[in-house]
Amino acid sequence: MLPESENEHAMSELIIEYPVCATEGRELLPAQTVLSDENLKKMISGNQSPIRTGRLLDFGSIKSDILEFLDQDNYLAVFDNRETRQRLMARMMKTELPLSLLESIYLFREYDFYTYRHLLTVSALSTLLAEYLVKDRISIMDDIVGPPSHDIGKIAVPIDILNKPTPLTSDEHNILKHHTLTGYVLLCYYFRDPVNITARVARDHHERRDGSGYPRGIRIDDTMIELVIVTDIYDALISSRPYRPSSYDKRTALEEITRMAEIGQVSWNVVKVLINQNRKKRVSIGDCLVSLEKRGVPPPDNLYGIIADKDLCKPKK
């Protein structure tokens, strides 16, 4: 993990570019607010009502939806037997969250079904993989990776940006990237806790080990957060998205994540666990060998990461 002093320094420089509002529309923080502990505590103090909570798997159709998502082809190899699913459901059943957060998660079911599915599958996959990485801290990990909330900030992103089939403009890309900070603020507010670990995951799930991520550009070395980073990337690659005509096949997605581990962007340990769980014959993580050969073929016409008013204007070589 990063030294606390470095985290604090990076936090002192974070400023939200857009206002953050609660789901009922009340503004929590105006644009250009510095995300300091003082400002977050002041925001939280404005809501003294008790936190009403509910169990994740008891809310709406979330339990049946998760089970349906795990039956899809790309996840059958990972959640390949009844015992694994029962164990997973037993652990996720313990996840209890503020009702405001549960309502926000469920809002995506109608607002943006892809994000809803993505939240639940990343949560389930992270919860499962945690078993093989942090057995001595598994109950703590469930509180961190169990809540399907890393992308909750996308509730503030206009649906036409989330589902845009053509390249985003610079302004649209900035609005999309802001979901990390919006989610961080919302989760601090929902949990009434300015140092909530679930909020940290939402803020940092696009950071990278080499410091090439956002919003802070810090070096991540934290298994709790890196589990969500890797599963977030993997699920996004193997899922259909508006900005590409077809998803990555499972082999190519795993090779892409392996490439990211090779260049120091994501954790080798987490990547090994993910690859091992996708194999029919599984071994201990220490014995898991990862081929560096790349034989997969990325889908054509993938527009991810292309900025319309920058990349498309560059002269062709």
Q: Is 60 left (phi over 0), alpha (psi -120 to 50) or beta?
A: left
**SS3 of residue 15 by DSSP:** strand
pLDDT over 70 at 150, yes or no: yes
pLDDT over 80 at 221, yes or no: yes
Domains of the chain in sequence order: 4-313 (1.10.3210.10)
- Does the pTM surpass 0.75? The reply is yes
- 36-70 residues labelled b (16+ CB within 10 A) or e (exposed): eeeebeebbeeeeeeeeebebbebeebbebbbebb
Q: Give CA separation, 284 vs 22, 124, 267, 273, in Å.
A: 44, 21, 17, 9
pLDDT per position as a tens digit, 269-281: 999 999 999 998 8
Band (53; pLDDT cuts 50, 70, 90): very high
pLDDT per position as a tens digit, 206-220: 999 999 999 999 999
